A and B are shown apart, each in its own frame.
Chain A
Amino acid sequence: MSPAATCDVRVREIEPLAPGLKRFSFEPAHGGLFSTPPAGGHVMLTLRDGARVMKNAYSLVSPPAERARYDIIVRLVAQSRGGSAFLHHKVARGDVLEMAPPLSLFPVAATAKKHLLIGGGIGITPLLSHLPELKARGARYELHQLSVADEAAVFERLLAPFAAGAEIRVHGGGRAAFDMAGLLARQPLGTHLYVCGPRALMDAVSGTALALGWPKGKIHKESFGDTSGGLPFKAVLKRSGIEVEVGATQSLLEAMEAAGVAAPCLCRGGACGECRTPVIEGEVEHRDDFLSAEEKAAGTAIMTCVSRARGPRLVIDL
């Protein structure tokens, strides 16, 4: 899919949760309600810090029934690319930001007999959007949150609304004091596992589960997906005599449309074949499902809706 258009959102509240942890609450800048957010969904914020533009993905932590606001929790990361520092230090109540509508790549499984959720640090955020949905379904769930000792109380407080009658534990001693293998070994058949946190934790949890014989389809890891963008490049439309600069977060198709070119397209997701365009010069990074492996290897055609140049310049027959 090509990314949906962004909408303007206003910061309605900023709540410090702990040193370096803030909850941001957004509302539609032009009134009305947001769409029902997907359980486990995330949004992409466009952050403009002077001339610098950052696009950062954040899990939504507000429940599906909440349409007046979308909430995210942001940890201030010392070595970040700058997005978290910008949000923590430069964004104030009332500011307007651009937000892409939520995507769902970490949903709740429908056929699970039980849901086992494991979070590490700020990886708690998508689990906070799973919990209201699990509660609404009357589903059986168990949650383990790994934390540094200083932040355990914060996570206890965030999880408190879901704790009644459910097994929820915050492990303030981090991974060292957490019997991961024991936990995974004692789950009943039909349990689905969800993990979100540092890459090392996600790999350790899924690796342990696989070693214990968990089916791959029952292990779910948070993902913000492949970004649709890539390095910027120049597209030369030979027949039209036009040159188009394709930005890092734009598709070739979108860049051509922005330049007023009526390029062919239909599905905008690399499936239908409508936007197939002959390539005259330059290497293609194929991301579509339409061209065969042989056609991709030949490199003589590009699906402009999803694929890009693998280099600074691409000449196409359009």
Chain B
Amino acid sequence: MTLQFKPSETFRDTFTYAKTAEDILRFPFPFPEDEYMYSVNIEPHVKGGPTAAFQAVFDIDEHYVAECRERAKVLAEDPKRCQVLPHMMAAEWDTLELIMESLAADYPEHFTLTKAGDLWTWVNRPLGLQQSFTFGKAETLPCPPFEFITRQAQGDFTLQDQREDNLFVDGGMVTTQADWSLEFDIGMTFHEWHGPVPLAHEKGVFDRALKYLMRLQCGQPVRRLNWTMTVNPRLDTSPENYPVWGPDKATVTPENVAEKVHLRVELQTLFRLPRSNAILFGIRCYLTSVADIARVPKWRRRLHRVLRDLHPDIIGYKGLPRYRQMVIDHLAPFDDGVPTSRGIAPDTDTLDAAR
């Protein structure tokens, strides 16, 4: 199916972002069961998951063009959202190669990559870009290779160097983040940048995840889903801009809760890169309003149960206290107590009427 991009939709101020029925049904709903707790929920990143969001190495959807435009706006306001330490240049080229080859293979109607030795030509039809350059020669691109390609991808990316039996976040393009800052975290080790997460350290989640990731091999990427909630379909919920979006939390009312509050899901992917041995971490953000989720019977039952029974520390860490009860109250009448099937698939091809 050909994607119909919606280049003018917005993720700030006017918030004209909206989802088609197909886009709602392809949402990577994050809860495989009716309760939620931290775990090392990592699995091989192979094509063909429970929704259409898992059909490509790097998923592109109807918001692609608008999200690239939003990224450009954030970068214009704050160029430090994209930073890569100088020793990561090989990882920059690895990233460019991986994303270009994957997009061209998965979406030939939108992207084309041709090579004549080191001379590469990249065509991005949705954004109207064509660029010839010499692979390995940064001066032949209009900006460094990592920035060049991640300006043309949905979702955030970070680069991890592996050394001293640890991973260091030594670069990133971070404009659609759930309240963390690359400027603050850059150069940190794995346990340092995960420092603020509650409960999971005690459970040994990060010790196990680090060991697992240090063994990650080329060509065998892995993925996991993470989630939080965001008021309004705002991609840039950064600490830097907290004064802009923090007050949104106070605007939620029982009347507008379903439209205002969005379930924010990150499809996180991890790739070992060949030349650099770095790990590319993709954080692909999906926003779906509570109203849209309520149109899928399984998902509305499950979201209600998960939020109702959520651990208090997680409620606080994810910033939900101000409006969580309103979401629960909105969803409770639609939860008839019927058991839900395991896994995240919507179990339907059609949406219920809006409610």
Contact = CB atoms under 8 A, between A and B. Distances in A.
A39 interface: yes
A35 B136 contact: no
Contact of B209 (A4, A102, A133, A271): A271
B168 to A, nearest CB: 9
B216 interface: yes
Given A36-B97, A217-B164, A103 B218 contact: yes
B207 A107 contact: no
B86 to A, nearest CB: 10
B274 interface: yes
Dominant secondary structure at the A interface: loop
B87 A110 contact: yes
B117 to A, nearest CB: 9
A35 B218 contact: yes
Given A110-B90, A217-B163, A39 B274 contact: yes
Interface in A196-234: 217
B272 A104 contact: yes
Given A35-B218, A133-B90, A137-B90, A41 B274 contact: yes
Contact of B212 (A65, A133, A289): A289
B202 to A, nearest CB: 13
A111 B118 CA distance: 25
Contacts of A273: 39-40
B337 to A, nearest CB: 27
Contacts of B164: 217
B272 A271 contact: no
A82 interface: no
Contact of A137 (B43, B89, B135, B163): B89
Interface residues of A, number: 33
A178 interface: no
B275 A271 contact: no
Interface string B193-212: 00000000000000111011
Contacts of A289: 207-208, 211-212
Contact of B42 (A101, A104, A136, A267): A267
Interface string A269-280: 111110000000
Contacts of A290: 208
Given A110-B163, A111-B163, A133-B90, A35 B219 contact: yes
Listed residue (A103, A104, A110, A217) with the most chain B CB atoms within 10 angstroms of its CB = A110
B148 to A, nearest CB: 18
A271 B212 contact: yes
Interface in A245-272: 266-272
B90 A36 contact: no
Interface string B250-294: 000000000000000000000010111110000000000000000
Contacts of B212: 267, 269-271, 289
A204 B88 CA distance: 31
Nearest to A271: B212
Contacts of B39: 272-273
Nearest to A102: B218
Contact of A111 (B40, B87, B97, B218): B87
Interface of B: 39-44, 87-91, 94, 97, 118, 135-136, 161-165, 170, 207-209, 211-212, 215-220, 222, 272, 274-278
13 contacts: A4-B219, A35-B218, A39-B275, A39-B277, A101-B218, A110-B163, A110-B170, A111-B163, A136-B90, A136-B275, A266-B42, A267-B40, A290-B208
Interface of A: 1, 4, 35-39, 41, 64-65, 101-104, 107-111, 133, 136-137, 217, 266-273, 289-290
Shortest 4 CB-CB contacts between residues of A and residues of B: A107-B277, A271-B212, A38-B274, A272-B40
